[in-house]
Amino acid sequence: MALSTGLAGAQRPASARAQLVELRPGRIVTRSVRFRPGVYRLPAPASPDSALITVRGDSLTVDLTGVTLEGMDPALDPDHAAGIAVRVEGGTGIRIVGARIRGYKTAILVRGTRGIEVRSSDLSHNWKPRLFSLVEHESLVDWLSFHNNEGNEWLRFGAAIYLDNVSHGLLQGNTVTQGMNALLMNRTDHVTVRDNNFSYNSGLGIGMYRSSDNTIVRNAVDFNIRGYSHGFYRRGQDSAGILMYEQSSNNVVALNSATHGGDGIFLWAGNYTMNTGQGGANDNVFYANDFSFAPANGIEATFSRNTFVANILEGNDYGVWGGYSFDSRIVANCFANNRFGVAIEHGQANTIVGNRFLGDSTAIRLWGDSIQPSDWGYPRHRDTRSRDYLIRGNRFDGTPRILNLANSSGIRAEGNDSSSAVRGGCTGIPAVPPPYADLVPALPGVPREIPAPPVARRRRSAIIVDEWGPYDYQYPRLWPVDSTHAVPLRLVVHGPPGTWRVVDRRGVTGPDSSGSVGDTITVTPRPDDSGEWLLTMEYRGAATTSARGARTAAGTPLRFSYGTFDPRIDWALKAWAWPDSLDPRRDGTWPRLTATTPILQRTVPRLDYMWYRPTIRELPQARFAFEASGTVTLAPGEYTLRSLSDDGIRVWVDGRLVIDNWDLHGTEIDYAALAGGRHELRVQYFQVDGWMELRLDILRGTQRSTGSPGPH
């Protein structure tokens, strides 16, 4: 596939003819316009069928150079963002240039348009949800599900740019950071996405659904991640640099930096293929991309036929996870220091040729399982034996296990070479052997180099995710090396180059009075019964941009801090195992259950549990219940009691039931207002089976964040 030129078949409009006008809410644009520069604080209409600016027509330019659109106060939490800033309805040959749009659920929505161009726009700091997976607690409430979008269900996730039923276009030179999703494409074709920075978002850099014949080239889509806490959990929770779903075929993805994502690329054939065994997300070419340092997979590509050539896959759990792939070509890639280089279950007729494996624990694993999921239509319609691989001309260096086969047949391994030497990591774009040169896509006028963001080659430990998503190293911050409850506690000073000095300590001793960014410091928290301690520092150094987009000039002193608010509660915890006759979901059963002898009694400092298998040895795998009581004393002010539960929970404050979510459910969030003073707390909880999660927090102020939209 050759590189698309963008506005194919449409007259290219000229902004020089644009009229200079004031920007007012509800503006309908039908001819080229240039809005008067300035900062406009304009909330968008709540209806998803409306927008702040609506564009209708042909061959027109909307020039927003020098304009900043703000849908809300930038100081507010980003889950307050709402509405659509710019909506393009139909038409041909539409250009949007120079925009700075922030504080909306969707910055630019384009529907039914042929020939769209979005250039040189900063669409950062739009909607994203609060996350509840913190340093030592992963919550399933943060898991994403992009599996259905037949009715534009993806709109609930928000996006800086959302393309729906768009044909032909060019997105170039845009920046989207610190949102949830940068670009979502639904039923979109022949669009070139080039030279954009779509990094540091909490969902996706680029997402595609039923979108084919597009070119994704030389973009930075790094650190699009959630569900990672170094040393505690590394799941990614279905975040990704690039996601390609449901019959998205014949796309070229080349020369992108997609490091430190939940996956680098996450390709899935789709529900149609899973049900019928037909189709797939097929014949996509992935050339010379950097898919390194993913907590899960550098490349996950399943139930489909694709080509992967000259990519860099280093420091992932799996370099390539290719479950049920068929007729796919994995050629001339560099795999380094992955747990598995290539892992494919139930694959057929795949080619693994001319790759380098450096220090991977297992280079290639191929297998088939005797039993496959009974609710999948795919294995009922397709041959899913693991069979007929060509493994030729690969180089294995410092790889303890080269080939791991199980229930596989027809494996041809020939002309491979190995040594015990370990030669570090991947360097540069791998060379493609001449017999496979035709796999390299034609990209006229595109430099053959991958963008090199400054943090892209750091190891996976560089991923820091807080309650609002990934940290981008553009401002100073303190972050724990390990447990947040350790005493003493080690903290790293992260940020741009510069120095720090301590300006205030409350309830904490240490560290030294000053130092440099990159230091590891040690502090000893000594909180009183309020459970609060705070260390405040002042930074001087390079220019900074905060997580909310506030900019500070180089050399300007900037304060930053780290601390906790964890009011002391000595919880008296009891646990019971329950049989069917004492199922706590039945009315009147709880008193009878708690009248029996507990299987566990202890005093704990906090209610914070989650597991698939119990981490408390006295508890059974399923069907148990907790009751906990304790007393808390809070200074005057407003507070919020927040619970995360899977399954049922009830919470009483001073004998009053304030949270009542007493049924079988996945992880859900509940809130109750709490005033200052002394309070008696009581919690009841039951678990049926599967994932168990129980957490109770007391927060300052008023919170009602609902978290990430659930599956549809």
Last residue of a domain, one of 310, 338, 361: 310
The predicted pLDDT at position 1 comes to 43
- Which pair of structure tokens corresponds to residue 340? 């598995």
- Which pair of structure tokens corresponds to residue 252? 């070229």
In Å, how far from its chain's centre is CA 660? 31
Last residue of a domain, one of 310, 340, 359: 310
Beta-strand pair 386-392/84-89: unpaired
pLDDT per position as a tens digit, 390-434: 999 999 999 999 999 999 999 999 999 999 887 789 999 999 999
- Which pair of structure tokens corresponds to residue 70? 């703000």
Burial class (CB in 10 A: 0-12, 13-18, 19+), 646: buried
- Which pair of structure tokens corresponds to residue 360? 């991977």
User: What are the beta bridge partners of residue 175?
Assistant: 122, 197
Rounded Cα distance, 502 and 608, in Å: 32
| Residue at 395: amino acid letter | R
Please report whether residue 408 resides in a domain. Answer: no
- Which pair of structure tokens corresponds to residue 461? 């430990």
DSSP three-state, residue 707: coil
CATH number of the domain bearing residue 643: 2.60.120.260
Please report whether residue 92 resides in a domain. Answer: yes
Rounded Cα distance, 252 and 270, in Å: 19
The predicted pLDDT at position 9 comes to 42
Please report whether residue 213 resides in a domain. Answer: yes
Do 562 and 550 touch, CB atoms closer than 8 A? no
Q: Judge if 581 and 659 occupy the same domain.
A: yes
- Which pair of structure tokens corresponds to residue 16? 């020089």
Do 289 and 443 touch, CB atoms closer than 8 A? no
The predicted pLDDT at position 127 comes to 98
Q: Judge if 157 and 182 occupy the same domain.
A: yes
CATH number of the domain bearing residue 289: 2.160.20.10
| Angle of CA points 78, 462, 136, to nearest 5° | 70
Q: Judge if 554 and 583 occupy the same domain.
A: no
Write down the mean pLDDT value for the chain: 95
Q: Judge if 542 and 578 occupy the same domain.
A: no
Q: Is 128 left (phi over 0), alpha (psi -120 to 50) or beta?
A: beta
CATH number of the domain bearing residue 517: 2.60.40
In Å, how far from its chain's centre is CA 296? 12
Q: Which domain holds residue 481?
A: 473-565
Domain count within the chain: 3
Buried b (16+ CB within 10 A) or exposed e, 487-505: eebebbbbbbebbbebeeb
Rounded Cα distance, 315 and 293, in Å: 5
Work out the number of other CB atoms within 10 angstroms of the CB of residue 290.
Answer: 28
Do 476 and 493 touch, CB atoms closer than 8 A? yes
Strands (E) across 566-701 are located at 571-577, 600-604, 608-611, 624-646, 649-653, 656-661, 668-687, 692-700
Q: Judge if 134 and 234 occupy the same domain.
A: yes
DSSP three-state, residue 538: strand
- Cα dist from 317 to 4, 134, 208, 227, whole Å: 34, 21, 24, 14
Please report whether residue 273 resides in a domain. Answer: yes
Rounded Cα distance, 577 and 131, in Å: 32
Which residue shows structure tokens 């903290």? 491
Residues of the chain with pLDDT under 50: 1-2, 4-6, 8-11, 15-16
Q: Judge if 231 and 102 occupy the same domain.
A: yes
Q: Judge if 620 and 527 occupy the same domain.
A: no
Q: Judge if 513 and 625 occupy the same domain.
A: no
Last residue of a domain, one of 245, 276, 310: 310
Rounded Cα distance, 107 and 82, in Å: 10
Please report whether residue 265 resides in a domain. Answer: yes
Q: Judge if 507 and 613 occupy the same domain.
A: no
User: What are the beta bridge partners of residue 301?
Assistant: 267
Rounded Cα distance, 71 and 74, in Å: 8
Rounded Cα distance, 645 and 398, in Å: 45
Rounded Cα distance, 392 and 331, in Å: 10
Rounded Cα distance, 355 and 423, in Å: 15
Rounded Cα distance, 634 and 637, in Å: 8
Please report whether residue 352 resides in a domain. Answer: no
Burial class (CB in 10 A: 0-12, 13-18, 19+), 280: buried
Which of 461, 466, 342 has its CA nearest to residue 411?
342
Quick one: how many helices (H) and strands (E) in the chain? 3, 59
DSSP state of 21: E
Dihedral of CA 67/70/74/78: which sign?
Answer: negative
Which distant-in-sequence residues (6+ apart) come within 8 Å of 282 by Cβ?
Answer: 249, 250, 304, 305, 306
Burial class (CB in 10 A: 0-12, 13-18, 19+), 607: buried
Q: Judge if 645 and 594 occupy the same domain.
A: yes
Buried b (16+ CB within 10 A) or exposed e, 324-347: bbbbbbbbbbbbbbbebbbbbbbb
Rounded Cα distance, 578 and 573, in Å: 16
Q: Judge if 545 and 585 occupy the same domain.
A: no
Q: Judge if 558 and 692 occupy the same domain.
A: no
The predicted pLDDT at position 12 comes to 52
Please report whether residue 205 resides in a domain. Answer: yes
Please report whether residue 126 resides in a domain. Answer: yes
